Structure 1
Amino acid sequence: MRWVKWILPTILAINGAVMLLAPAWWYPRVPGVIETGPLNEHFVRDIGAAYLACALAMGWAVKDPARGLGVAVASATFLTLHAAIHLITPFCGTTLPWPLLLRDFPGVFLPAIISLLIVRSCRRRAMRAEARPC
């Protein structure tokens, strides 16, 4: 079951790479994205770069939890702020927010939650490493 911890970094990497390399292909395939306005390939690539950076950071944190705390926090910060935007935005419109929140759960909220769990795990490992006598 050691492979399970690599699911988030892998998904983030695939999503980021596709956003960078094929934004026009990616854009209509992600639920809800086309409802945000017309395709802006530069913007999609910018966000793809952020996802790729998060993937690398989370991969580092998963590989070396004791030393990966800082990069895990940075990655989780982006993912959590992204989720916060998706949490607030549905309540600003005229439609019911619940279908939008359910639609966004697997691709936005779940990665943020998992990233926070990885941060917690890294923090625990770092604290254990500091507590060991030399």
Structure 2
Amino acid sequence: MTASPQLERRLGAARTGAARAGGADAWTWILTVFALGNLANGVWMLAHPTSWFHDLPAAVPDFGPLNEHFVRDIGSAFVVQGVALLWAAFAPTWRVPLVAPVALFAVLHALAHVYDTARGLVGPAHWMIDLPAVYVPALVMMLFLWLLARARRASGG
């Protein structure tokens, strides 16, 4: 898989003088947006698990009854991911090692949804319900990791 030269220039800015000097590059903004999404989801899960369970537009109750403790456990994981992505946003040399576990969680989370939908735990509508909040983020995080690792290798890091 090869990124276009323009995309690589924009997203490979981790190796530019702006990134080395501590200035904001494209990755700073991209990772900050994803960090804030994970933090918002995690804080919602920790603070109001019942509201998250019933109000998240992802048909979460289809997977089984509410377990507030479990929702908070997973909320903790989302907060950790948000912190990792925020750290990565402002620490270019740490981007690959911080984005890697976030990407791994996203892929494992997506595979759990694939398994549960394929085996019939939830209805086939979940292929589309889970697309924007589960499957796409997993693919995006893997793409980010690949681009960051490639930029790091290209810069000799």
- Measured against the shorter chain, the TM-score band is 0.7 to 0.9
Which segments of structure 1 move beyond 3 Å, counting only runs of 4 or more? 1-5
Q: Which residue of 1 aligns with 2:138?
A: 112
| Structure 2: distance between partners of 1:4 and 1:60 | 12
| Structure 1: distance between partners of 2:112 and 2:89 | 26
| Structure 2: distance between partners of 1:35 and 1:45 | 18
Instruction: Determine if contact 1:18/1:48 at 8 Å carries over to the other structure.
Output: yes
Judge which range, 6-15 or 63-72, deviates more.
63-72
Task: Kindly indicate whether residue 49 of structure 2 is the aligned counterpart of residue 27 of structure 1.
Answer: no
- CA deviations 1:35-78 (Å, max 9, x no partner) are 12221111000000111111111222233343221121111111
User: Cα distance 1:50–1:12, how it changes in 2: closer, same or farther (>3 A)?
Assistant: same
Judge which range, 24-33 or 85-94, deviates more.
85-94
Alignment partner of 1:130: what SS?
coil
Q: Which residue of 1 aligns with 2:40?
A: 14
Structure 1 segments unaligned to the other structure (5+ residues): none
Aligned residues: 130
Task: Kindly indicate whether residue 79 of structure 2 is the aligned counterpart of residue 52 of structure 1.
Answer: yes
User: Cα distance 1:63–1:114, how it changes in 2: closer, same or farther (>3 A)?
Assistant: farther
Instruction: Determine if contact 2:63/2:121 at 8 Å carries over to the other structure.
Output: no
User: Cα distance 1:92–1:84, how it changes in 2: closer, same or farther (>3 A)?
Assistant: same
Instruction: Determine if contact 2:31/2:85 at 8 Å carries over to the other structure.
Output: no
Instruction: Using structure 1 for the length normalisation, give the TM-score.
Output: 0.85
Judge which range, 28-37 or 10-19, deviates more.
28-37
Task: Please state how far the C-alpha of 1:4 moved relative to its aligned partner.
Answer: 4.2
Task: Please state how far the C-alpha of 1:125 moved relative to its aligned partner.
Answer: 2.8
User: Cα distance 1:114–1:65, how it changes in 2: closer, same or farther (>3 A)?
Assistant: farther
Instruction: Using structure 2 for the length normalisation, give the TM-score.
Output: 0.73
Q: Which residue of 2 aligns with 1:129?
A: 155
Query: Where is the helix percentage greater, Structure 1 or Structure 2?
Result: 1
User: Cα distance 1:95–1:32, how it changes in 2: closer, same or farther (>3 A)?
Assistant: closer
